[in-house]
Amino acid sequence: MIRHTTALIMIACMLLSACGTNDETTPESTKSSNESVTSTQEQQNEPTGTGTDERPSTDSPSPTDSNSDQQSTSDDETSSTEKEGTDNSPMSQSAEDNIEKTYHMNANYYIKPNDKTSESKVVLLTFDDGPKEEKMINGLIDTLDKHSAKAIFFVNGYRVKSHPELLEIIHERGQVVGNHAWDHEDLKKMSTTAAAKQVTDVQKIVKDTIGIEPQFFRPPFGSGNDALKATVKKNGMLYMTWSNGSLDWDKSTKNKPEKVIRNVLDQLNPGSNILMHELPWTVEALDELLTKLEQKGYTFVDPRSIELKAR
């Protein structure tokens, strides 16, 4: 009986021991599982260093932030470059450089073709002493556009300083700007240094105003010397006077557009380098003059196609 009772007690103890182990293990296992899930969720919510968290690190930019900055800088640089490339359209320096040089000027200031493939019956149109008035400038260019012609507008620096917007009109409307010295004075009577300054000051103000420097130079009164020619060459320009004077500046031609036309036609030869001015009667004469030149079989050379060295 005692052994039987002892056996029952031992069995009961074993059962109680097994139940106690299960009660302690189950909560721990559940807790461990829950902590694992919570840990995974917290890891998913932590900043990843990609710049998408609302609380980015201030220690150093993330790789994505760095790339974004580089991209932004690159975009800004591209934008700036694009703007620089279009500021001086349509007459940007690169556009001028891309025009084939099919003509040259000879020692007598006539424009000649480089070979037989280029038309020889051409004239060069030029206007001196501007820019003066918007109405006259637009009048001249309206007529040039009508005849698909380009001309050189030789400008004085002091006039550009007073009215830079007029220089911009000439440039923006696709015509060519030339250097006619700062003041309209006889450069041959100046010292070499003073004459050189008359040239370089115009180069600077034109560059500052329209973004490119003139490539052609004409001295006031056609008066120059070897020192002046050397300065002009050093500044990358072609030195020229003219071979056909319209005499539109002479008082005998004032208010007589028909005389401007007659003067030009009387001196006409293939390659004529025609000198005119920004004057009301020249504006009035220009359409008929260009029409008569065309009727005689002449075309208008693009100044940008002329080599910058006489030969």
The residues annotated with a catalytic role in the active site are: 128, 277
| CB 289 within 8 Å of CB 260 | yes
In whole angstroms, give the CA distance from residue 66 to residue 48. 15
DSSP string for residues in the chain? -HHHHHHHHHHHHHHHHHHHHHHHHHHHHHHHHHHHHHHHHHHHHS--SSS-SSS--SSS--HHHHHHHHHHHHHHHHHHHHHHHHTTTTS-HHHHHTS---EEE-TTS-EEESSTTS-SSEEEEEEEEE---HHHHHHHHHHHHHTT--EEEEE-HHHHHH-HHHHHHHHHTTPEEEE--SSSS-GGGS-HHHHHHHHHHHHHHHHHHHSS--SEE--GGG---HHHHHHHHHTT-EE---SEE--TTSTTTTT-HHHHHHHHHHT--TTEEEEEES-HHHHHHHHHHHHHHHHTT-EE--GGGB-SS--
